[in-house]
Structure 1
Amino acid sequence: MPNCKELIPLILCTACLHPEPKERDQLLHILFNLIKRPDDEQRQMILTGCVAFARHVGATRVEAELLPQCWEQITHKYPERRLLVAESCGALAPYLPKEIRSSLVLSMLQQMLTEDKADMVREAVVRSLGIIMGYIDDPDKYTQGFELMLMALGDPSERVISAIHQVFVPAFAAWTTELGSLQSQLIPTLLSRIEKLLREGEHRLDEHKLHIYLSALQSLIPALFAVVIQNAPFTNIAKLHGEVLPIEVTRFPRPASPLQDVATIIGSREQLAVLLQLYDYQLEHEGTTGWESLLWVVNQLLPQLIEIVGRINVASTTCVHEFSRFFWRLCRTFGKIFTNTKVKPQFQEILRLSEENIDATVGNGILTKATVPIYATGVLTCYNQEEDRKLLIGFLEDVMTTLSLSHAPLDSLKASFVELGANPAYHELLLTVLWYGVVHTSALVRCTAARMFEQILRGMSEALIDKRVAPALVTLSSDPEFSVRIATIPAFGTIMETVTQKELLERVKMQLASFLEDPQYQDQHSLQMEIIKTFGRVGPNAEPRFRDEFVLPHLHNLALGNNTQTVESKRQDIAMQLFEAYSALSCCFISEDLMVTHFMPGLRCLRTDMEHLSPEHEVILSSMIKECEQKVENKMVQEPQGSMSIAASLVSEDTKTKFLNKMGQLTTSGAMLANVFQRKK
């Protein structure tokens, strides 16, 4: 039997030329069923053959003879065969009648995208959909295309989502640009979907859906920029005048695929270089008059995006991160002049940061919203010149000051620090901001600075913690204002949890010891609360020696001291905080010695408090104590292998008696007991 390379051309040639439709049908059926599970190379051979056949016979016969073969295999049990169908739909798209492309073929692909279980098939479906989008010219199919895009973006497979950003979205964007509806329909629809999602999800936002819409918007940025630059006032003079500077390598964010490269969309890198030079000149010297496509971005898109950002919950780190990435890509694509003259002023107008205007600024609540971290991390980090870094530092300092002086929540500042702190390149910059807070004349600002250190310690180098963080915290820990000293405790705790350097750990331990042992702090309720809370948080992850020699003995002392607390509300606060800490530490390995000397006595002191304050907590503590006692008891009765202590033998006898008694209660006669153990023959 000839091999596939010889057989496929033979079958196709005969199918092309045979006069009998029935015979042709049989031959094409053989072609599609020739190989049980065709691999990549074999599928490529069949597809190449199909394309050659389509070129030769024309659209009518492709529709009548090849498509039915695809339709037959759409639910085949082997994924390789369904993959061949998905790939055929894309490969044959140019050779089909246009009404069939936008009806039958589109429906086949939609069915496979919805129903096929294999990731590789759905990935091929998405790629073929991208090709189909390049050929559809029926505007009525826009809505179906949009829904297909959203459906595919919600796919559970990473490879499908990757394919949609690489192929489908750029193809769909090109088609909507052709239709003139990228700015009038596609982007506004996505924005209104996001707004609706935020309205519906005031209590619980569907973050997955938000991600789908936002990732689609992000993939449309290159197409949007291409529309703006191709519809500029200067396009009629976009010819080479003098030397054209080459495009810097870092000018645009890395595209998801060549189809998302602005140069590909424009037509060539040379043409893009010319347009970019004219674009920057126009923005800097001649303004935006008559430039409708850019005015839409400035007057409609940006204000709507900024308004949306103001409604994002600042506690949702995922949303903050995604919107930051979106603004970063938008600003980098539209360039530095656009960012400085069009984006920053709109944010600054809303944030209105100024010393004289503190009450008004905080009054509108915007400084406590996600606008702060998204502006800081999505816009102010786009460019990294000295003046850009100064602007970011100044902005964070202003936010820290304003929020502190007006006693506003610090969540927006924390979110900015967490997002920036995830990148070590910003650690020095953040420490500069914090040092400004450390030496500030207001205790409120110093307090905030102390609290912010904790946000950036994870992932920071030990050298930086040793040289910059520890000295700042030590300075604050002897601050004249008591509230500032207390605010350093969480950061000291985090150092104990994350650092390995012995000298540094000793310095921190001495500082924590002075908080616990210095007479001036003995009756400081808020300090004790902060210490216990920190111990509960860092204890389980800290170095075991620190936990054993420092945390557990001090928790025991605090629990003991709380038994004699006469102010009921303070006693309750400390007891509840101790309960949280002991619950967290009960998961750790604790030696019998420590169990007996500190852990169980601390729990018993706490139980004494809870007897009066919270009976339900007292029940939990009693069972925790019982469990600890059993652990200790079991350790004590274990002897070397081969011998059994009297206590252990008593336990065994007791267990045997209990077992026999139970069996006696369960069975009513000896016959039944015998039956239990009797195997069926």
Structure 2
Amino acid sequence: MAAPAAGSGPGGSSAVGGGVPGGVVGLSASSSSVNPFLSDSEEEEAEEEEEEEDDDEEDNEEQEDVSPSNPRSGSLHVPRSLPEEPPLHAGPRLTTGEPGRLGLDAVAAQLLRDQLLLTALELHTELLETGRELPRLRDYFSNPGNFERPAAGPAPSIPNPSTGGQLNRAGSVSTLDSLDFARYSDDGNRDTDERVTVLEFELRKANETIQALRVNLTLAAENEIPLQERKNYKSSPEIQEPIKPLEKRALNFLVNEYLLKNNYKLTSITFSDETDDQDFELWDDVGLNIPKPPDLLQIYRNYGNHQSVTKASADVAVGVRDDDLEPLPTGEKTTELQALEQSPIVQKLEDTIVKCSNEKAALLDQIQKLERELENLKAKSASEFVPAPQPLPNRLHSQASEESDHYIDIQTSDIKPEKAEEIPSKQTETEVDSHFSHDFPPSPDLTKISKKSIPFAAPSKAGVKFDQPNRKLSPAFLQALLSFCRMSADSRLGSEVSRISDSENGVLLMLGRCLPHIVPNVLLAKREELIPLILCTACLHPEPKERDQLLHILFNLIKRPDDEQRQMILTGCVAFARHVGPTRVEAELLPQCWEQISHKYPERRLLVAESCGDLAPYLPKEIRSSLVLSMLQQMLMEDKADMVREAVIKSLGIIMGYIDDPDKYQQGFELLLTALGDPSERVVSATHQVFLPAYAAWTMELGNLQCHLIPTLLTKIEKLLREGEHGLDEHKLHMYLSALQSLIPSLFAIVLQNSPFTRKVKLQGETQPIEVTRFPRPVSPLQDVATIIGSREQLAALLQLYDHQLEHEGTTGWESLLWVVNQLLPQLIEIVGRINVASTACVHEFSRFFWRLCRTFGKIFTNTKVKPQFQEILRLSEENIDSAAGNGVLTKATVPIYATGVLTCYNQEEDRKLLVGFLEDVMTMLSLSHAPLDSLKASFVELGTNPAYHELLLTVLWYGVVHTSALVRCTAARMFELLVKGVNETLVAQRVVPALITLSSDPEISVRIATIPAFGTIMETVTQRELLERVKMQLASFLEDPQYQDQHSLQTEIIRTFGRVGPNAEPRFRDEFVLPHLHKLALVNNQQSVDSKRLDIATYLFEAYSALSCCYNIYFQQFTDF
């Protein structure tokens, strides 16, 4: 027995042929599929070649018989049995001189017969490496049918796996590697079924991948040719076959590869952007089992070495040998045979003649009809649009379209070109064919030539005559002769060039055919130059499908259009809409927008959002309130780009200006709330500038501004305040309050429009011009009261009557203004009283709201309607000092909002006096009632942001400095701390420091202590040396005067002030003054006998040193003293 073969499969026999020596067929381990001398790329190429052969074999198998007799047609796939060996290789072949040597083909056949597949594979691999490939092994291993595992149990002809059974075809080279390594590893004695299971899994995954690729490849290869291309190929049979998707992808790959190799990087980038559906990094993306061709340079160089197959037609003559001719019958038999054979032909020719005559009569009638219509059209005005003539009958139209390349001159009057000139073309050709058919059948080549366009002999423009030669050449010969002219009519472009249209309609048709081919070849940066051409063609083209294609090109003209390019496209869309009307806009433009609504590029979605607004005036009203509104709502909810949502908001505003369906009011309100709550600031800004004013104008027409929109927003604010007792959502409060603020111009406009004096307005007389500062500056033109009313002249006339009505006649019978006075203002004042005064943002928002409200409604309204309601609530009088109700309101946000929002609306002398008096009264009442000063501080902080009120605030504080009550003086001293930060140093030196020094010598120790924070703030903010020295001397007097040594409250106030201002103070002041005195205070505190006081001082010292530690490293040994 021979030794076992190294490459035998699991459970396979090691003998071959029963007695063949093992040395003949024994395969070493180095001959396995893992060859260390093969690179990865070579292995991959071998694998790709094997897969290509597999696919070719499978394609051939699909054409085999699928009858029940075919064993591969069922669900059980049995390996194809090996063909019978010829007698030459049936057994061992012994040659003279080489006894016992067996042919390799016989060895391969025996291995395959015994199912020693791995051994056969190793033999095949070694032979491939040495360049001696066996066809038997190649054919076997390239056939995937030999490795398919049956779905059910094994067929009788399949050996059991334990005795050399069939292996699954490996899905990759790595699978064979893992199998071979397992055989030689320490774990090589694993169960055979386990290895077979692994191979089955890998095979299944590989088959799934291959199947998916084949499906994709099939779908790509079966893509329908575009409509325009099919028309071109149909009309010109000489044009080359249309490019297939796979061919296009391959050419794209080669072109991109050529551009990269020759350093055309920018062109390559542009090309790859335009073909974003293809991966140029991987050739396999082109298609499955497609070998990569040579590069373009190699193809060009080898072009001349190959024979090119041309489609040029030629006349062919066929001869007959004499011995092939049979003897013809003679006499009566000949006559009878001829009569029998020619009778069907004669009958057929007669039918053809009758048919041609009928067609000729019909065509003549049609020509006369067209001539009459043309005469009628010429009688009309030249400025009117002349429609195209009636279309030809379907039968005639189909014939004309098939022979659209014929341009035979028509010697008639001005018939409408294109369709009219096709009629005599067909007629002439019919006559020529019938004339020649009586003599001899036309040659196929001549038929092909006759269908070529001959522009030299057949000009398309009627009325142009050429000299005809005095020759007797046959038409067929002349056409064959002219075919040698160097004209290119065998391509799409050649066909277009050879046809020069002589009518407007023909030009449009030509543009519709050519523009889809021109656009991809224009640079991206210059494609907007094509917009007028595309739009003009799309407007006037008679074919709906062509118009749709052109509009699709328009919206996809530029991959990521910038702002200028979008404006150009939108301008064209508006021009298109104006020209074609709402029906075609709905049917042709809106579908293009809908297709782009989810495009991956935000610039495309931005184009859709902007087009919805620009096209709104030209759409049917039902479409505006349904489809377009739904599109914008979807984009507002789903789009993640801020600029897209901003454009959506602006388009929604335009839609709100044209919508007239009251049922859409609630949907508009929900969109408004969504837009106001958008996280993007630019979206919210667009809402206030466009959407909200447009929506408010609609609510004014519906009468919902005062009865729904404003009350709903106020209700939401009240709900926020009720739910936010422990934490107010300031963002939502700002959202609702800013919306109310933007509605003030619309509210004032509706008050004017519904006033008793509206009918008295006369624009003929002279009216006083409106003061520039009469109204607050609007954030957009849509919030300008003059724009809402209609004109500044009309607004000026209304304002004059408005002021007169308020001053002399009141608000009796003025329902819209009474609603503001009796419902809106009380509700707002109640809301203000519930706001936490510590919320600086809320105070500022409500102050701005009341300021705009009072400035918009005017000074008379503010003095007579707004101020009295606030004064009634505040009740600033002597008897209310101890009143809990009065003090409660004074500590709320009502005080700062009234002071900064109402009393600052007008800046005249009496208005400033009123503001000073109010602040003095508030300071006095809060001080005498020992109430918190938060409301007064909020007023000073809000007013202190405007330098125009600094003098006024210093006047108020000086009133407190000289007040007889120590409580008021103490309050004034503490308020200086807030004012110093915003006042310039001149005022600090002239007004603040003298007042503080005065208070620092006050008889009451509490007043002197209250000045310390203000002095510290001056050290923190002022840079004048002399001023700092004065403050430093005053602080030193507090620290070194013996009368203050036991003043615990003074020491704690100084330590807290040093800790607050030390990090920001001058370094010299900090090092030479602050730190030494803190050290002294620490030493003094060690001698403190009262534990509570010593603990307080120690705590404040620790906080002060912690704050100062950010400036430099402090030696904390100072803390060891206490």
**Is 2:604 the counterpart of 1:604?**
no
Q: 1:36 aligns with which of 559, 572, 580?
A: 559
Q: CA deviation at 1:201?
A: 0.8
Which residue in 2 is equivalent to 1:288? 811
| Shift in alpha-carbon separation, 1:92–1:571, aligned structure 2, 3 A | same
Q: 1:371 aligns with which of 894, 917, 923?
A: 894
**Is 2:866 the counterpart of 1:343?**
yes
Distance in 2, Cα, partners of 1:500 & 1:364: 40
Distance in 1, Cα, partners of 2:607 & 2:764: 51
Q: CA deviation at 1:604?
A: 2.4
Conservation of the 8 A alpha-carbon contact between 2:891 and 2:935: yes
Distance in 1, Cα, partners of 2:931 & 2:890: 9
Distance in 2, Cα, partners of 1:441 & 1:224: 48
Q: 2:836 aligns with which of 284, 296, 313?
A: 313
Q: 1:273 aligns with which of 785, 796, 799?
A: 796
Which residue in 1 is equivalent to 2:699? 176
| Shift in alpha-carbon separation, 1:541–1:364, aligned structure 2, 3 A | closer
Q: 1:513 aligns with which of 1029, 1033, 1036?
A: 1036
**Is 2:1080 the counterpart of 1:564?**
no
Q: CA deviation at 1:76?
A: 1.4
Q: Any residues of structure 2 matched to 1:99-178 within 5 Å, and which?
A: 99-178=622-701
Distance in 2, Cα, partners of 1:374 & 1:425: 18
Q: Any residues of structure 2 matched to 1:559-638 within 5 Å, and which?
A: 559-590=1082-1113, 595-596=1114-1115, 600-605=1116-1121, 608=1122
Which residue in 2 is equivalent to 1:455? 978
Q: CA deviation at 1:241?
A: 8.0
Conservation of the 8 A alpha-carbon contact between 2:1063 and 2:1111: yes
Distance in 1, Cα, partners of 2:778 & 2:577: 34
- Summarize deviations over 1:489-545 as a string: whole Å, max 9, x none: 110000000000011111111111111111110111111111111111111111111
Distance in 2, Cα, partners of 1:71 & 1:260: 32
- Summarize deviations over 1:548-606 as a string: whole Å, max 9, x none: 1111111111122222222222122222222221111111125xxxx45xxx243223x
Q: 2:577 aligns with which of 54, 60, 66?
A: 54
Conservation of the 8 A alpha-carbon contact between 1:362 and 1:406: no
Code of the aligned partner of 1:245: Q
Distance in 2, Cα, partners of 1:387 & 1:502: 39
Conservation of the 8 A alpha-carbon contact between 1:353 and 1:361: no
Conservation of the 8 A alpha-carbon contact between 1:427 and 1:460: yes
Conservation of the 8 A alpha-carbon contact between 1:555 and 1:602: no
Q: CA deviation at 1:20?
A: 3.4
Which residue in 1 is equivalent to 2:850? 327
| Shift in alpha-carbon separation, 1:409–1:6, aligned structure 2, 3 A | closer
Distance in 1, Cα, partners of 2:1082 & 2:734: 47
Distance in 1, Cα, partners of 2:1104 & 2:576: 74
Distance in 1, Cα, partners of 2:1015 & 2:708: 53
Distance in 1, Cα, partners of 2:555 & 2:880: 74
| Shift in alpha-carbon separation, 1:237–1:294, aligned structure 2, 3 A | same
Distance in 2, Cα, partners of 1:13 & 1:478: 89
Q: 2:988 aligns with which of 449, 453, 465?
A: 465
Distance in 2, Cα, partners of 1:249 & 1:602: 65
Conservation of the 8 A alpha-carbon contact between 2:541 and 2:547: yes
Distance in 2, Cα, partners of 1:296 & 1:363: 27
Q: CA deviation at 1:361?
A: 6.1
> Higher helix proportion, which one?
1
**Is 2:824 the counterpart of 1:301?**
yes
**Is 2:1009 the counterpart of 1:486?**
yes
Q: CA deviation at 1:101?
A: 1.4
Q: CA deviation at 1:27?
A: 1.7
Which residue in 2 is equivalent to 1:422? 945
Which residue in 1 is equivalent to 2:229? none
Code of the aligned partner of 2:636: L
Moved more, 77-86 or 334-343: 77-86
Conservation of the 8 A alpha-carbon contact between 1:556 and 1:601: no
Which residue in 2 is equivalent to 1:359? 882
Which residue in 2 is equivalent to 1:196? 719
**Is 2:991 the counterpart of 1:475?**
no
Moved more, 472-481 or 135-144: 135-144
Distance in 1, Cα, partners of 2:888 & 2:696: 37
Give the total of aligned pairs.
Answer: 599
Conservation of the 8 A alpha-carbon contact between 2:958 and 2:995: yes
Which is higher, the Rg of structure 1 or of structure 2?
Answer: 2
Q: CA deviation at 1:360?
A: 2.2
Distance in 2, Cα, partners of 1:284 & 1:245: 17
Distance in 2, Cα, partners of 1:49 & 1:438: 72
SS at match of 2:881: helix
Q: 2:1020 aligns with which of 497, 501, 504?
A: 497
SS at match of 1:587: coil
Distance in 2, Cα, partners of 1:449 & 1:601: 40
Q: 1:433 aligns with which of 956, 969, 977?
A: 956
Conservation of the 8 A alpha-carbon contact between 1:560 and 1:602: no
Distance in 1, Cα, partners of 2:590 & 2:765: 54
SS at match of 1:504: helix
Which residue in 2 is equivalent to 1:186? 709
Q: CA deviation at 1:295?
A: 0.4
Cα RMSD for the two superposed structures: 1.5
| Shift in alpha-carbon separation, 1:280–1:361, aligned structure 2, 3 A | farther
Which residue in 2 is equivalent to 1:669? none
Code of the aligned partner of 2:767: V
Which residue in 2 is equivalent to 1:386? 909
- Summarize deviations over 1:412-464 as a string: whole Å, max 9, x none: 00000000011111110000000000000100000000000011111211010
Distance in 1, Cα, partners of 2:1071 & 2:885: 45
SS at match of 1:239: coil
Name the TM-score, length of structure 1 as normaliser. 0.86
| Shift in alpha-carbon separation, 1:290–1:499, aligned structure 2, 3 A | same
Distance in 2, Cα, partners of 1:452 & 1:5: 65
Q: CA deviation at 1:85?
A: 0.4
Conservation of the 8 A alpha-carbon contact between 1:362 and 1:403: no
SS at match of 1:320: helix
Distance in 1, Cα, partners of 2:920 & 2:1070: 36
Distance in 2, Cα, partners of 1:347 & 1:174: 31
Conservation of the 8 A alpha-carbon contact between 2:763 and 2:793: no
Q: CA deviation at 1:55?
A: 2.4
SS at match of 1:540: helix
Identity of aligned residues (%): 86
**Is 2:768 the counterpart of 1:252?**
no
Distance in 2, Cα, partners of 1:152 & 1:392: 38
Distance in 2, Cα, partners of 1:47 & 1:525: 76
Q: CA deviation at 1:166?
A: 1.4
Q: CA deviation at 1:28?
A: 1.4
**Is 2:1055 the counterpart of 1:543?**
no
SS at match of 1:603: helix
Q: CA deviation at 1:153?
A: 2.2
Conservation of the 8 A alpha-carbon contact between 1:361 and 1:367: no
Distance in 1, Cα, partners of 2:604 & 2:992: 61
SS at match of 2:743: helix
Distance in 2, Cα, partners of 1:36 & 1:520: 83
Moved more, 577-586 or 261-270: 577-586
Moved more, 398-407 or 91-100: 91-100
Conservation of the 8 A alpha-carbon contact between 2:881 and 2:887: no
Code of the aligned partner of 2:604: R
Distance in 2, Cα, partners of 1:362 & 1:485: 32
